[in-house]
Amino acid sequence: MKESRIIASLDLVDSRQILDLAEKISNDIFAIKINWPTIMSCGIEIIKRLSKYSKVICDLKIADIPYTNEKIANIVSQQGAWGMISHIFPGEDSLKAVIKGAADSKVFGVVSMSNPDSENMLNKNWQSMIKIGKTNGVYGIVAPANNQDLLIKIRNEAGNLKIISPGSIFQGGDPLLTLENGADYVIIGRGIYESKDPVEFVNNFNELCRRNNLLNE
């Protein structure tokens, strides 16, 4: 069956609303990503509840010392998250601890960000962060959908790593172009949950991908 390339970033703070939307779109997306606002408002058990509908990627952007990172990753994994997002910038020791704590859950490392000022900070170090990610066995990395030049450079060095890309629509990126330029999945938040009809939005984008031969086998 062809597989959607949408990761829906459901950054909502009401459990009922997020579960309702998850139920409606779950058949037509690849995964749901949740972030701090959702977890802080709905509680950590929202991971388990959403996992009934879809793979869940927990975007805590873990960035602490190894001891703490391992604990965080372990809790997320025990809640049933399919994947989690970790920073790589704190260094190899911290990333290794995330990967250990994550056990069977996939780890995605941040090698670049979509906010404009990250060009002056984090994004300067994307090459060394990819190297650390590869050496330590991350499953994928995060690269911006609103910076196609950087995305293409990252794709060329990422090898087999999956690329997940936020920064579409509300942050200016074009999700179709992002897939054409080598992202494996586009992360779309407000573009979905603030659209008049999220189900229609997701179906329309899947159809656009299908017409451009961009659905996964």
Q: Which of 61, 131, 134, 153 is catalytic?
A: 61
Q: Is 11 in the site for ligand BMP (CB under 6 A)?
A: yes
User: What is each CA distance from 102 to 35, 55, 73, 95, 158, in whole angstroms?
Assistant: 17, 15, 5, 10, 21
Range 108-127, binding ligand BMP (CB under 6 A): 113-114
Give yes or no for a contact between 18 and 45, defined as CB atoms under 8 angstroms apart. no
Point out which span in 75-83, 86-94, 187-195, 209-217 binds ligand BMP (CB under 6 A): 187-195
Q: Who's near 204: CB < 8 A, 6+ residues apart?
A: none
- CA 173 – CA 143 distance, rounded (Å): 12
Point out which residues pair with 142 in neighbouring strands. 110, 164
CB nearer to ligand BMP: give 78 or 195: 195
Binding mask 44-83 for ligand BMP (x = CB under 6 A): ---------------x------------------------
Q: What's the token pair of residue 92?
A: 């190899």
Point out which span in 95-103, 153-161, 189-197, 204-212 binds ligand BMP (CB under 6 A): 189-197
- CA 159 – CA 141 distance, rounded (Å): 11
Shortest approach of ligand BMP to residue 144 CB, angstroms? 6
Give yes or no for a contact between 73 and 86, defined as CB atoms under 8 angstroms apart. yes
- CA 164 – CA 160 distance, rounded (Å): 13
The residue at minimum Cβ distance from ligand BMP is 189
Active site residue 61: yes
Q: Is 191 in the site for ligand BMP (CB under 6 A)?
A: yes
Shortest approach of ligand BMP to residue 110 CB, angstroms? 6
Shortest approach of ligand BMP to residue 187 CB, angstroms? 5
Among residues 109, 140, 167, 198, which is the contact residue for ligand BMP, using CB under 6 A?
167
Give yes or no for a contact between 25 and 198, defined as CB atoms under 8 angstroms apart. yes
Q: Is 190 in the site for ligand BMP (CB under 6 A)?
A: yes
Tokens 């060394």 found at = 128
Q: Is 171 in the site for ligand BMP (CB under 6 A)?
A: yes
Give yes or no for a contact between 63 and 39, defined as CB atoms under 8 angstroms apart. no
Binding mask 143-162 for ligand BMP (x = CB under 6 A): -x------------------
Q: Which residues are catalytic?
A: 61
